[in-house]
């Protein structure tokens, strides 16, 4: 279980408060969509969940362990794929050699399988990759770590149509009863078919926390329309 309890956070430089007494939780076995308007704090929340930012008040715990402590219980079982990142100018094989040791369940076989689907190999040099290619490599590595918590910020940015389809397939196949996948995205059409639960928020207020089946009992999923309706409803209140 990944729990967020009474979280308050503001960036020191700007003083802007992003969260104020915010609470929610994420249970194993689900693929969550983390939704909210621009500026709601989705990216900030992912970094807080990963223990890479420290809350001013409240805490984030994974299996009752404070993620801020950055101990092996959390660092080996939480992986974050940011929207923007710069891969080192080394070969992929060297990157794997250096970084895979931090993840006890890392699978070289699965990594090769993911890379093969994307038409890439371990001989790839990370410094020569486009944005889309880099995202395919990083996502392949992330999935191969088999961490129980996988946090993804705009994972389909830079992917072509076949790449987006493969990403959805990887998520579906990679889910286990112990895993927690959290996907933050504005491109809901890219992933709405694989989500089974959404957490939508704005101004530290939960606007929706529900499974997809209860939101769309007829199976006609239109998450973009639902999102706009909830935002408009909040504005009118």
Domain boundaries, the chain: 2-236
Read off the pLDDT of residues 34-57 as tens digits, 9 standing for 90 and up.
999 888 999 999 999 999 999 999
Please classify residue 31 by burial: count the beta carbons closer than 10 Å to its beta carbon, then call 0-12 exposed, 13-18 middle and 19+ buried.
buried
* 97 to 94, 100, 183: CA distances (angstroms): 5, 6, 27
Percentage of the chain lying above the pLDDT 70 cut: 99
Residues 6 or more apart whose Cβ sits within 8 Å of residue 175: 29, 30, 31, 181
* 62 to 71, 146, 183: CA distances (angstroms): 11, 16, 17
Strands 197-202 and 30-35: parallel
Read off the pLDDT of residues 18-39 as tens digits, 9 standing for 90 and up.
999 999 999 999 999 999 988 8
If you classify domain 2-236 with CATH, what class do you get?
Answer: alpha beta
């Amino acid at each position: 279980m990944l729990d967020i309890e009474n979280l308050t956070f503001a960036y020191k430089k700007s003083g802007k408060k992003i969260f104020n007494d915010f609470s929610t939780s994420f249970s194993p076995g689900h693929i969550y969509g983390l939704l909210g308007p621009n500026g709601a704090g989705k990216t900030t929340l992912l970094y807080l969940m990963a223990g890479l930012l420290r809350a001013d008040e409240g805490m984030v715990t994974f299996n009752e362990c404070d993620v801020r402590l950055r101990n092996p219980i959390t660092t080996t079982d939480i992986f974050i794929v940011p929207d923007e990142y710069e891969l080192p100018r080394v070969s992929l094989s060297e990157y794997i050699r250096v970084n895979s040791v931090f993840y006890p369940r890392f699978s070289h076989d699965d990594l090769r399988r993911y890379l093969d689907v994307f038409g890439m190999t371990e001989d790839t040099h990370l410094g020569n990759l486009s944005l889309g290619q880099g995202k395919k490599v990083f996502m392949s590595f992330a999935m191969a770590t088999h961490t129980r918590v996988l946090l993804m910020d705009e994972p389909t940015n830079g992917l072509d149509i076949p790449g987006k389809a493969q990403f959805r397939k990887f998520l579906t196949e990679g889910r286990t009863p112990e895993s927690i996948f959290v996907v933050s995205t504005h491109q809901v059409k890219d992933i709405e078919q694989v989500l089974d639960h959404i957490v939508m928020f704005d101004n530290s207020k939960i606007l929706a926390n529900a499974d997809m089946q209860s939101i769309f009992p007829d199976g006609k999923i239109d998450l973009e329309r639902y999102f706009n309706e909830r935002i408009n409803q909040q504005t009118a209140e």
